[in-house]
């Protein structure tokens, strides 16, 4: 017969110092790793999609379809790894979104797609070079809107200043400007001027293009040093072209461009623009990269916005928009609240029905398992994000179950007269097999989520990893650390002082609970066991009833439940050839309707603002917190959103 005082559980129970050291290692080491682990709103991953964009300036959607889309679809058909091709013809642009098959070699498929497109010879001569790239999810954190009834040049200057100053911070390295028109230098001259000076428009354009160059010219090596040679005559402003010599005479006279042409430095004419609360606006979208933390980035931008607003010229304001970090902070706060609530409930429940010391050590399994998991999760590059925090919330309700089972069994043995050491060892060994298999069952239930295909599989992949890691550490803590703490309790430790008063009250509650078990629960279990076929029939009847509710459609099924969002979003599209004035009028009508709705709901303070974009749709990088509006007009189509 095996000696119950031998084995790893018994050894750890005898050596409580070792148990304490391991526990402190999990708590302190995990706490340190927690401060170092990467934070992001959603996990970063590359999608199994390839995007192809081919510009064809000034072409109608029909011309895009006949000249680009049909040839593109023919070339992409049959490429290994391509599952589905979705093509769209816009005015001046042809797009294709290519979905790859699950498990395909994405890099090889990308190379094959590029090669197939390069071999197409039927594209129109005016079509530009195709842009082929894999689609990846970027972590947008927060946006800053600069708006006001001022000239576009002032608005862009202030927005670019905000971008440069934010990028100068060591906490922000990526910021995109949205809603800004492209800069344009226009040179206008009459036909009479060209004829008077014997100039042709083509030759003049070539002369102007050759006058603004930046060309590397190799290197010059000397005995003292090595010099880099380059021609640097880049003209970035309209005034740089005024003194451009376009023609000379044998008498030494020079004709300059400013003498015969009108030069304007401004922005291109475009039907794409953005409005915020009815005023021209530009948006600065800030992203997280590397090891940057969303909460730090959001705090930096918010603090900067307060100071930036004080330096803006008259008529220009700024506002925070799309603070996605609020979702991450809310999820972190929820996990903290649930953890604290769980600790309190475990302490109260076990303290009332067992004893206070046992309740404390069993409850310590929660922080030990959670913090200890970061020692292992950091090795696989796991980050704190919305998905991993969700996984921690799921496992929070299961992590302490095995410790409660062991603790209750140890308490039962002590109540029957065993000494603390023997009770801790034997109590843990009694339930070793069922507890281990219960943990393995939980792990087996979550493991299939690692193999879900597609984009959703990339999200679900992190859930079983965290659940299994936390459950394994909890299992280790239950059988190798908890017995060491329970084995050295002193007999009569609750007989004196405040603990003695609490102990007497606790014993009365525990006795009442045991009496209820003996009077009601035990007879019910006896009847169920005695009439086992009746119990089995009731269980089967309930199972059949549930299956019938599901199969009959009475119990609905949705992959994700519909949850009211904090954003009101609307898109509208006009027919090809619709004037931009229709988009502008619809934008005004939508904003007016939104204001009326807010008045009925209690006032304009219910919304943070209204952001409208005409000319292109807005890409949302994640869940949206604030209320607002999106309007966009795409070429001949009007694409709107509120």
Percentage, residues of the chain above pLDDT 70 = 81
Band of residue 270 on the pLDDT scale cut at 50, 70, 90? low
Neighbour tally for 425: CB within 10 Å: 26
249 DSSP 8-state letter: -
Q: Kindly report the backbone phi and psi dihedral angles of residue 107, in degrees, each rounded to the nearest multiple of 5, phi listed first.
A: -65, -40
Segments in 182-324 forming alpha helices (H)? 191-196, 201-211, 257-260, 294-311
Yes or no: domain 8-41+328-491 corresponds to CATH 1.20.1640.10: yes
**pLDDT tens per residue, range 339-383:** 899 888 888 888 888 778 888 888 888 899 999 999 888 887 788
Q: Distance between CA atoms of 36 and 382, rounded to whole angstroms?
A: 11
Angle at 125 between CA 120 and CA 130, to 5 degrees: 50
Q: Which of 58-72, 261-275, 497-511 has the highest mean pLDDT?
A: 58-72
Residue with tokens 């996605």: 324
The domain over range 140-182+271-323 is classified in CATH as 3.30.70.1320: yes
Whether 8-41+328-491 shares its CATH topology with 140-182+271-323 is answered: no
How many Å apart are CA 204 and CA 330, to the nearest integer? 61
Mean pLDDT along residues 519-528: 92
Report pLDDT for 639: 34
Residues 136-187 have pLDDT tens digits of 767 888 999 999 988 888 888 899 899 999 998 888 888 888 777 767 777 7
Report the length, in residues, of the chain: 642
Give the three-state DSSP class for 640. Answer: strand
Short-list 145, 154, 151, CA closest to 630? 145
Any idea which fold 46-136 has?
Answer: Alpha-Beta Plaits (3.30.70)
Helix, strand, coil: what percent of the chain each, to 5?
50, 20, 30
Write the pLDDT tens digit of every residue in 424-449. Answer: 999 999 999 999 999 999 999 999 98
- pLDDT band, very low/low/confident/very high, at 229 (cuts 50, 70, 90): low
For residue 556, with 0-12 CB atoms within 10 Å meaning exposed, 13-18 middle and 19 or more buried, which class applies?
exposed
Tokens 């004419």 found at:
269
Residue 269's Cβ-side half-sphere holds a number of Cα atoms within 13 Å equal to 3
The CATH architecture one would assign to domain 184-215+227-267 is 2-Layer Sandwich (3.30)
CA 19 vs. chain centroid, Å, equals 39
Tell me how far apart the alpha carbons of residues 259 and 256 are, in angstroms, rounded to a whole number.
5
Q: Where are the domains of the chain?
A: 8-41+328-491, 46-136, 140-182+271-323, 184-215+227-267, 580-641
Non-local (6+) Cβ contacts of 580 within 8 A are: 271, 614, 633
């Amino acid at each position: 017969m095996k000696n119950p005082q031998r084995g790893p559980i018994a050894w750890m129970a005898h050596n409580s110092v070792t148990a304490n050291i391991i526990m402190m290692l999990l708590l302190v080491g995990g706490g340190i790793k927690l401060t170092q682990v990467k934070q992001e709103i959603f996990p970063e991953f590359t999608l199994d999609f390839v995007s192809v964009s081919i510009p064809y300036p000034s072409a109608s959607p029909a011309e895009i379809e006949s000249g680009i889309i049909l040839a593109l679809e023919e070339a992409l058909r049959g490429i290994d790894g391509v599952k589905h091709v979705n093509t769209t013809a816009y005015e001046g642009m042809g797009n294709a979104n290519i979905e790859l098959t699950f498990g395909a070699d994405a890099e090889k498929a990308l190379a094959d797609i590029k090669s197939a497109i390069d071999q197409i010879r039927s594209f129109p001569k005016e079509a530009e070079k195709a842009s082929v790239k894999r689609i990846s999810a970027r972590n947008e954190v927060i946006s800053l809107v600069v708006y006001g009834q001022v000239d576009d040049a002032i608005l862009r200057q202030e927005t670019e200043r905000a971008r440069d100053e934010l990028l100068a911070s060591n906490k922000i390295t990526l910021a995109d400007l949205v809603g800004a028109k492209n800069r344009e230098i226009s040179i206008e001259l009459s036909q009479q001027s060209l004829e008077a000076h014997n100039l042709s428009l083509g030759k003049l354009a070539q002369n102007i293009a050759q006058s603004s160059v930046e060309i590397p010219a190799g290197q010059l090596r000397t005995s003292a040093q090595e010099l880099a040679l380059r021609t640097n005559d880049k003209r970035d402003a309209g005034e740089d072209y005024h003194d451009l010599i376009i023609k000379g005479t044998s008498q030494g006279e020079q004709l300059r461009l400013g003498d015969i042409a009108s030069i304007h430095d401004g922005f291109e004419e475009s039907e794409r623009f953005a409005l915020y609360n009815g005023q021209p606006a530009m948006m600065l979208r800030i992203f997280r990269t590397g090891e940057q933390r969303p909460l730090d980035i959001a705090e930096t931008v918010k603090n900067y916005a307060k100071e930036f607003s004080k330096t803006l010229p008259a008529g220009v304001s700024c506002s925070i928009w799309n603070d996605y970090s609020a979702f991450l902070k809310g999820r972190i706060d929820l996990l903290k609240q649930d953890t604290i609530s769980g600790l309190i409930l475990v302490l109260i429940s076990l303290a009332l029905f067992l004893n206070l010391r046992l309740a404390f050590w069993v409850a310590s399994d929660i922080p030990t398992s959670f913090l200890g998991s970061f020692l292992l999760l950091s090795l696989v590059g796991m980050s704190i994000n919305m998905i991993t925090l969700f996984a921690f919330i799921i496992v929070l309700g299961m992590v302490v179950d095995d410790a409660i089972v062991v603790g209750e069994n140890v308490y039962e043995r002590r109540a029957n007269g065993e000494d603390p050491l023997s009770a801790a060892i034997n109590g843990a060994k009694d339930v070793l097999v069922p507890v281990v298999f219960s943990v393995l069952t939980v792990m087996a239930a979550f493991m299939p989520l690692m193999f879900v295909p597609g984009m959703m599989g990339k999200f679900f992949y992190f859930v079983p990893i965290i659940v299994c890691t936390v459950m394994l550490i909890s299992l280790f803590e239950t059988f190798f650390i908890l017995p060491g703490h329970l084995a050295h309790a002193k007999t009569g430790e609750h007989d004196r002082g405040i603990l003695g008063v609490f102990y007497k009250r606790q014993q009365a509650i525990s006795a009442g609970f045991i009496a209820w078990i003996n009077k009601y629960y035990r007879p019910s279990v006896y009847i169920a066991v005695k009439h086992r076929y009746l119990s089995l029939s009731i269980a089967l009847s309930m199972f059949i009833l549930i299956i019938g509710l599901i199969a009959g459609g009475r119990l609905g099924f949705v992959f994700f439940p519909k949850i009211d969002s904090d954003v009101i979003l609307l898109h509208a599209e006009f027919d090809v050839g619709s004037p931009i004035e229709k988009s502008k009028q619809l934008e005004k009508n939508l904003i007016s309707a939104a204001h009326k709705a807010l008045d009925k709901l209690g006032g304009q303070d219910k919304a943070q603002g209204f952001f409208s974009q005409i000319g292109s749709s807005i890409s949302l990088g994640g869940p949206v917190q604030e209320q607002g509006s999106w309007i966009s007009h795409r070429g001949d189509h009007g694409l709107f959103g509120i």
